[in-house]
């Protein structure tokens, strides 16, 4: 069976500043069938936009092929349209003119262009705004223009790149619901939708299938089917359970390691990715979790809503607490460990001591830098030494972020110091 879209073993590498290759996507196989909405869920930097650009024929993959309707995709393949996170409207053109622009490349006569643009505007609920200028529109209306511009070419495949993430929650909600209604009523020729996002709820609300994208390099790590009819009720038990389940899949996979080259056993863990989360944020969350109404245990999605941080921030915080063994995560529940409870009940000096112990025992990079500093004459070493080492096995950004994270944790814990001017690490207390 040939689907609408078929990706075969797609890989993509970019060069970093030193001219070394790093792999952003690897071994991506995917086929989209008529009538389905597929979501690709991944953290920022996992290669989602890169993959969409490859699918749209705007970027060539390093390996593999993209077949659209059975033929290799090209930048001018008809039938594919994309909606972006930012609206990219021309401020000096009206809504109608901005939408018509989508048809420019198709060399369609002016009369026909106008007719189709008006239809698309009508369909997406912009009726009456044809002659308005972008500056007169709210963010939600601007994104409706973005949708109209995509719909006007009568695409059979619609790609959405975080199409709702620049909008406030309520506006995003309305637009998602409106789009799903269009889709369910088959009011457009769109046969399939591929949407990429880092928002779990969005995938459960919209998709028939959710693919979880791992990072470094981006690979499809898991696939989840969502067998719920549209429109979906966010408050229903089935919906909440599905959100919890996906949280669990994501959190149980953390932390991720880069596998591009084999890492010697003695160094294992040093190259684990670390998100830069401040000790302040961590103690804040521990204190909140220890207090009422949580008493040491909470539901992750609920936590996300309570703190209003956005899924990604909460996941990073949770990941850091888990790594330092201040928290355990099972299914979609987070619970504080005894070390965390002791931390919360202690004064500042004792807190630093506990943090230092957790850091040495559980964060290999922290322990490694500490060990090197102990062994070195004078007990100091330049940051660049560690950075260069990490970059052997990690993408440049990740190496930098891991070092920054460990530095801020070690400073707080007074395990070792870092001088921003000389860019040198040193031991706080060499005899320790």
Interaction of residue 165 with Mg ion, rule CB under 5 A: no
Interaction of residue 49 with ligand ADP, rule CB under 6 A: yes
Q: Tally Cβ neighbours within 10 Å of residue 94.
A: 18
Rule CB under 6 A: which of 14-33 touch ligand ADP? 14, 24
Interaction of residue 197 with ligand ADP, rule CB under 6 A: no
Distance CA 319, CA 321 (A): 6
Residue found under tokens 């690979």: 219
Question: Closest distance between ligand ADP and the C-beta of residue 45, in Å?
Answer: 5
Question: Closest distance between ligand ADP and the C-beta of residue 48, in Å?
Answer: 3
What is the distance of C-alpha 287 from the center of its chain? Answer: 27
- Estimate the crossing angle of helix 396-413 against helix 348-362, to 10 degrees: 140
Distance CA 405, CA 179 (A): 40
Q: Return the residue of 6, 13, 31, 49 that touches Mg ion, per CB under 5 A.
A: 49
Closest C-alpha among 365, 363, 291 to residue 320 = 363
Q: Select from 41-49, 121-129, 334-342, 386-394 the region that touches ligand ADP (CB under 6 A).
A: 41-49
Rule CB under 6 A: which of 382-411 touch ligand ADP? 397
CA-angle at 46, arms to 43 and 48, nearest 5°: 95
Which positions from 52 to 91 touch Mg ion by CB under 5 A, shown as an x/- string? ----------------------------------------
Interaction of residue 46 with ligand ADP, rule CB under 6 A: yes
Q: 30 and 56 in contact (C-beta within 8 Å)?
A: no
Q: Select from 47-55, 239-247, 257-265, 348-356 the region that touches ligand ADP (CB under 6 A).
A: 47-55
Helix or strand or coil: residue 238?
helix
Q: Closer to ligand ADP at the Cβ: 46 or 188?
A: 46
Q: Which two tokens stand for residue 305?
A: 């809503």
Q: Closer to ligand ADP at the Cβ: 29 or 280?
A: 29
Q: Select from 37-45, 236-244, 307-315, 406-414 the region that touches ligand ADP (CB under 6 A).
A: 37-45
DSSP one-letter string for 301-338: HHHHHHHT--HHHHHHHHHHHHHTTSEEEETTEEEE-H
Q: Return the residue of 7, 32, 38, 42 that touches ligand ADP, per CB under 6 A.
A: 42
DSSP conformational letter for 428: S
Question: Closest distance between Mg ion and the C-beta of residue 161, in Å?
Answer: 6
In the list Mg ion, ligand ADP, none, the entry touching 50 (Cβ below 5 to 8 angstroms by class) is: ligand ADP
Q: Tally Cβ neighbours within 10 Å of residue 71.
A: 9
Q: 247 and 301 in contact (C-beta within 8 Å)?
A: yes
Q: Closer to Mg ion at the Cβ: 94 or 216?
A: 216
Interaction of residue 2 with ligand ADP, rule CB under 6 A: no
Q: For the chain, percent helix, then strand, then coil, each to nearest 5?
A: 45, 20, 35
Q: How many residues bind Mg ion (CB under 5 A)?
A: 2
Residues that bind Mg ion (CB under 5 A): 48-49
Residues that bind ligand ADP (CB under 6 A): 14, 24, 42, 44-50, 397
């Amino acid at each position: 069976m040939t689907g609408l879209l078929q990706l075969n073993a797609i890989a993509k590498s970019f060069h970093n500043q030193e001219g070394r290759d790093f792999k952003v996507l690897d071994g991506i196989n995917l086929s989209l069938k008529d009538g389905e909405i597929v979501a690709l869920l991944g953290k920022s930097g996992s290669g989602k936009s890169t993959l969409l650009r490859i699918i749209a024929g705007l970027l060539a993959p390093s390996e593999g092929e993209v077949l659209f309707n059975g033929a290799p995709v090209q930048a001018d393949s008809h039938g594919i349209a994309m909606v972006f996170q930012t609206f990219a409207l021309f401020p000096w053109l009206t809504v109608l003119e901005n939408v018509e622009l989508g048809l420019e490349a198709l060399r369609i006569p002016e009369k026909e262009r106008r007719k189709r643009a008006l239809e698309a505007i009508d369909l997406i609920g912009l009726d009456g705004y044809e002659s308005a200028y972008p500056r007169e529109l709210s963010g939600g209306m601007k994104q409706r223009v973005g949708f109209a511009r995509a719909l006007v070419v009568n695409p059979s495949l619609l790609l959405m790149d975080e199409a709702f993430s620049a909008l406030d929650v309520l506006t995003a909600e309305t637009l998602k619901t409106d789009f799903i209604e269009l889709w369910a009523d088959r009011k457009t020729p769109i046969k399939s939708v591929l949407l990429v996002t880092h928002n779990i709820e969005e995938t459960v609300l919209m998709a028939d299938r959710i693919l979880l994208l791992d990072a470094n390099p981006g690979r499809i790590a898991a696939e989840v089917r969502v067998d719920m009819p549209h429109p979906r009720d966010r408050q229903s038990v089935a919906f909440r359970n599905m959100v919890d389940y996906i949280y669990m899949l994501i959190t149980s996979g953390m932390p991720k390691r880069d596998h591009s080259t084999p890492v010697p056993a003695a160094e294992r863990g040093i190259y684990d990715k670390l998100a830069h989360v401040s000790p302040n944020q961590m103690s804040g969350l521990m204190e909140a979790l220890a207090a009422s109404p949580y008493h040491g245990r909470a539901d992750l999605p609920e936590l996300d809503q309570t703190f209003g941080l956005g899924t990604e921030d909460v996941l990073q915080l949770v990941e850091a607490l888990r790594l330092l063994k201040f928290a355990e995560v099972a299914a979609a529940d987070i619970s504080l460990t005894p070390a965390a409870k002791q931390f919360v009940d202690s004064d500042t000096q004792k807190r630093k001591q506990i943090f230092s112990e957790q850091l040495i025992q559980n964060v290999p990079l922290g322990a490694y830098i500490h060990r090197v500093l102990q062994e070195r004459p004078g007990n100091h070493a330049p940051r660049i030494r560690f950075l260069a080492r990490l970059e052997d096995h990690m993408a440049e950004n990740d190496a930098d972020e891991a070092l920054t994270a460990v530095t801020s944790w070690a400073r707080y814990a007074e395990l070792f110091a870092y001088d921003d001017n000389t860019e040198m690490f040193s031991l706080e207390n060499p005899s320790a």
